[in-house]
Amino acid sequence: MGKTIIEKIIETHRETAPESPAGEIGIRIDQTLTQDATGTMAYLQFEAMDLPEIRTELSVSYIDHNTIQIGYENADDHRYLQSVAGRFGIHLSRAGNGICHQVHLERFGIPGKTLIGSDSHTPTAGALAMLAVGAGGLDVALAMAGRPFYLPAPRIFRIELQGKLPPWVAAKDVILKILSIFTTKGNVGRIFEYSGSGLAFLTVPERATIANMGAECGVTTSIFPSDDMTRRFLAAQGRAKDWIPLHADADAVYEGEAVIDLSRLEPLAARPHSPDRISPVREIGPLAIRQVCIGSCTNSSYKDLATVAEILKGRTVHPEVSLIVAPGSRQVLENITREGYLAHILGAGARLMENACGFCIGNSQSPPSGAVSLRTSNRNFYGRSGTRDADIYLVSPETAAVSALKGRLTDPRQLGIALPFIPQPRKFHLDDNMIIRPLPPEDRAGVEIIRGPNIGAPPDNTHLTAHIDGEVTIKVGDKITTDHIIPAGARMKYRSNIPRYAHYVFEILDRDFSARALRIRNEGRQNIIVAGHSYGQGSSREHAALCPMYLGVKVVLAKSFERIHAANLINFGILPLIFENEGDYELLQAGDRLRVTDIRKVLTERRPLRIDNLTRGGYLPAAYELTDRQLALILGGGALRAR
Ligand code: MIC
Ligand code: SF4
């Protein structure tokens, strides 16, 4: 039987036999990436493993999320990251060099290799035919230590792209279409593998836009073949030697298939507050807009910004609109500068931001109250922009730029000009000055690790107690994102200081949560979170498990979980339980006292688990899906203790 691309990569990297019931497969990891907001914890955890150096082929630490640096905290984090990189043989991409996913694509990604990153958009590198997966910082630390990464049994789904995109329709519209089909829930364990005649017209950065936002569907990763387009991109990056061809066999078997005819697509937008609320731009109507932000790891490539420049050339941004442009990397900025595109962007009245996450993570450029903001990024979750009553729409760079000129959401085809074809340069101008390469091994031991006062040790956990005597500290609905659980934006500077950061758990939904949880913890009881479907969507931030753990959360009882978050909960010894009967969700209220008698025994003997409701009487059955490895983590109080 023929093999898929994913099966071929797994075959050359498998370290363990699949383990039931979840069918996890342990694979060897060739490359890792971290970013500063998740990286400090990952490296603190790596340090605790007491190894002289990393055991991967390549690990890169990027500084791209917290580059605003109000207060000393982020600057201290950056110094810590740089010193740790020096000590352990890790590459460091300095603040200002660009967003991790864009830079990794340009400078480090290699077809056929495995990559895990402490960021949910790590699958962007699937555009280069890598098996690239987002994970919590602890999993990345373990991979840097040479330990296998446990991939949930993949269900590989083929998406065939046929035909060619019409003018003004972009890669962003392809993935928005896919989001309209697959939505943001129900795709746990799935992998999207792309194929079809349409690939001949999609460059690697365009494929990257599509692979990037597969994360919004909740798939484990997305992958494209390594073909001539891949070869040309790597050659333009001066890395032709990294190319290998990699395709699925003609008789490979997939879980399912979808066919998308690119020639029939039109400009689309994701409406507030979820990336799967998709409508054609022409149907939404001429909404007045106050802000347009172009950038983020989804749409900030050379092609994206050159296209924007062609649209803005000789025109002026509407007086009611603030247009923000943030290139994805310094390479993109240098290349659009040399080609003259930047002058058109600036000449039209755009505001140039640093090559970093910036607006996308809500640490700058919050829109005005009640305003509409169009963004080329990947997430329009409630509150993420920093302005709770703002409405964020996700669109292509083409739609964003034309709308910025018009002052209202506009189908870009209405501009009435022909957009010139923008070829990928045969060779990009290359400059790695802001990448610090590892020292020779003999010089590393002498590097002092610098810790500022913001850098604490990861908090310790306790073993799972014999019984759970808990309380429902909060009850939340469907599609709770990690941005709801622990906000980023202005709060993100406390990422290295768990007791301080934990203060903001569920801040956006319930400001009193952390005080209440601490009280329950200090009374010797456990906190229980009750949730609907797709709990933990979005970011990979392990702080969404680590901070609740610190507050004494031991159980999350939900209708369903998203993959990365469920793995993070288990890594930190929090038990994810699933309602056996979804209707039981209605029977629970915040404040209910719940008890699970003999929980350790029940889990160990893999018996059915029942939760008694001491407040309302009665009980409800709950399911758990844990491999032996995961069960050991839950009983032992998490991977840091169980190591
Ligand atoms: C995001 O886009 O939400 C982030 C910020 O990049 C996160 C990581 C983080 O919270 O640090 C992600 O996607 O994993
Ligand atoms: Fe950065 Fe936004 Fe991409 Fe996350 S989604 S890595 S915050 S640019």
> Ligand 1: does its nearest atom lie under 6 Å from the Cβ of 64?
no
- pLDDT, position 642: 45
Six token digits for residue 318: 């509407």
pLDDT at 643 over 80: no
Whole-Å CA distances, 277 to 270, 324, 613: 5, 24, 37
Whole-Å CA distances, 459 to 28, 454, 497, 573, 591: 28, 14, 9, 12, 26
DSSP H or E segment with residue 474:
strand 468-475
Q: Is 219 helix (H, G, I), strand (E, B) or coil?
A: coil
> Ligand 1: does its nearest atom lie under 6 Å from the Cβ of 493?
no
Six token digits for residue 130: 């890598």
Instruction: Decide the pairing of beta strands 256-261 and 268-270.
Output: unpaired
Q: Does 227 lie in the same domain as 183?
A: yes
The number of the ligand nearest the C-alpha atom of 102 reads: 2
pLDDT at 269 over 70: yes
Residue 627, domain CATH: 3.20.19.10
> Ligand 1: does its nearest atom lie under 6 Å from the Cβ of 384?
no
For residues 67 and 98, the answer to whether their CB atoms sit within 8 Å is no
pLDDT at 479 over 60: yes
Six token digits for residue 300: 């900030």
- pLDDT, position 153: 87
DSSP H or E segment with residue 441:
helix 441-444
Whole-Å CA distances, 22 to 151, 152, 221, 371, 600: 10, 7, 17, 45, 20
Mutate to test the pocket of ligand 1, among 140, 540, 547, 568 (most ligand atoms within 8 A of CB): 540
Ligand 2 nearest-atom number relative to CA 119: 6
- What's the gap in Å between 416 CA and the centre of ligand 1? 38
Q: Does 477 lie in the same domain as 402?
A: no
**How many domains is the chain built from?**
3
- What's the gap in Å between 197 CA and the centre of ligand 1? 33
Domain of 67 in residue numbering reads as 5-264
- pLDDT, position 324: 98
Within a domain: 321? yes
Which of 392, 413, 434 finishes a domain? Answer: 413
Within a domain: 127? yes
Find all residues with CB under 8 Å of 630, minimum gap 6, and list them: 22, 570
- pLDDT, position 22: 57
Residue 67, domain CATH: 3.30.499.10
Q: Closest residue (by CA) to atom 2 of ligand 2? A: 360
Q: What is the mean pLDDT of residues 161-181?
A: 98
pLDDT at 641 over 80: no
For residues 27 and 149, the answer to whether their CB atoms sit within 8 Å is yes
pLDDT in tens, 363-404: 999 999 999 999 999 999 999 999 999 999 999 999 999 999
- pLDDT, position 237: 98
Q: Which residues partner with 60 through β-bridges?
A: 33, 91
For residues 504 and 541, the answer to whether their CB atoms sit within 8 Å is no
> Ligand 2: does its nearest atom lie under 6 Å from the Cβ of 215?
no
Six token digits for residue 319: 């007086």
Report CA 533 to chain centroid distance, whole Å.
19
Q: Does 475 lie in the same domain as 581?
A: yes
Q: Does 247 lie in the same domain as 313?
A: no
Average model confidence (pLDDT) across the chain: 96
Q: Does 295 lie in the same domain as 157?
A: no
Q: Which residues partner with 91 through β-bridges?
A: 60
pLDDT in tens, 223-246: 999 999 999 999 999 999 999 999
- What's the gap in Å between 541 CA and the centre of ligand 1? 6
Q: What is the mean pLDDT of residues 459-487?
A: 95
> Ligand 1: does its nearest atom lie under 6 Å from the Cβ of 541?
yes
Q: Does 170 lie in the same domain as 32?
A: yes
Which of 230, 264, 298 finishes a domain? Answer: 264
Within a domain: 77? yes
Cα–Cα distance measured from residue 331 to residue 102, given in angstroms and rounded to the nearest whole number: 9
Within a domain: 463? no
Within a domain: 443? no
pLDDT at 21 over 90: no
Cα–Cα distance measured from residue 302 to residue 422, given in angstroms and rounded to the nearest whole number: 9
- What's the gap in Å between 309 CA and the centre of ligand 2? 23
Question: Residue 2: how many CB atoms within 10 A of its CB?
Answer: 11
The number of the ligand nearest the C-alpha atom of 537 reads: 1
> Ligand 1: does its nearest atom lie under 6 Å from the Cβ of 120?
yes
Q: What is the mean pLDDT of residues 495-520?
A: 96
Within a domain: 427? no
pLDDT at 525 over 60: yes
pLDDT in tens, 419-440: 989 999 999 999 999 999 999 9
Cα–Cα distance measured from residue 230 to residue 244, given in angstroms and rounded to the nearest whole number: 9
Which of 213, 232, 264 finishes a domain? Answer: 264
Q: Does 510 lie in the same domain as 479?
A: yes
> Ligand 1: does its nearest atom lie under 6 Å from the Cβ of 119?
yes
Ligand 2 nearest-atom number relative to CA 296: 8
Q: Closest residue (by CA) to atom 12 of ligand 1? A: 539
Residue type, 122: T
- pLDDT, position 19: 57
pLDDT in tens, 562-591: 999 999 999 999 999 999 999 999 999 999
- pLDDT, position 1: 87
- What's the gap in Å between 514 CA and the centre of ligand 2? 26
